[in-house]
């Protein structure tokens, strides 16, 4: 019988910063990816929290938010391209949402490229709605601002 792979979800630690930055660069354009310094800063600030997904000790996903009072702004959701369309992104996003709610988040905001159809579908499945459009937010493309309340 085959063995089902187990994915471990946990808080990102400073030791994960380099791998998280490499994963982000693999998943996003140079303009959209988080710089390694941003990850280092986020790993030390209490307002940020990132959750990572590991499979057999390999970091395959990373999702993070910044929280201020009761509002959490989703900063990133990255899944290794080799592990997409397996529900890992959905599970990771849910773990991140639950972590933010545990810290008092009641409102969630995020920006997403209109061309990122898969991400928009995921966010809508969680109840997020488009509330604004930011012109040329990404330099070459607008951003949709999406919002969800607990």
Burial tier of 36 (Cβ tally within 10 Å: 0-12, 13-18, 19+): middle
Please state, in angstroms and rounded to a whole number, the distance separating the CA atoms of residues 12 and 2: 30
Active site residues: 111, 123
Please state, in angstroms and rounded to a whole number, the distance separating the CA atoms of residues 126 and 72: 15
């Amino acid at each position: 019988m085959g063995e089902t792979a187990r994915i471990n979800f946990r808080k990102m630690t400073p030791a994960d910063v380099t791998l998280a930055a490499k994963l982000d660069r693999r998943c996003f354009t140079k303009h959209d990816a988080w710089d390694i310094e941003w990850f280092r800063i986020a790993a030390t600030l209490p307002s940020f929290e990132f959750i990572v997904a590991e499979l057999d000790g390999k970091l395959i996903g990373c999702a993070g938010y910044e929280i201020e009072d009761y509002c959490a702004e989703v900063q990133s959701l990255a899944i290794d391209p080799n592990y997409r369309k397996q529900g890992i992104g959905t599970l990771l996003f849910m773990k991140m949402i639950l972590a933010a709610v545990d810290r008092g988040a009641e409102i969630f905001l995020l920006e997403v490229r209109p061309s990122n159809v898969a991400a928009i579908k995921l966010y809508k499945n969680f109840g997020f709605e488009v509330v604004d459009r930011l012109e040329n937010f990404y330099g070459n493309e607008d951003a949709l601002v999406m919002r969800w309340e607990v």
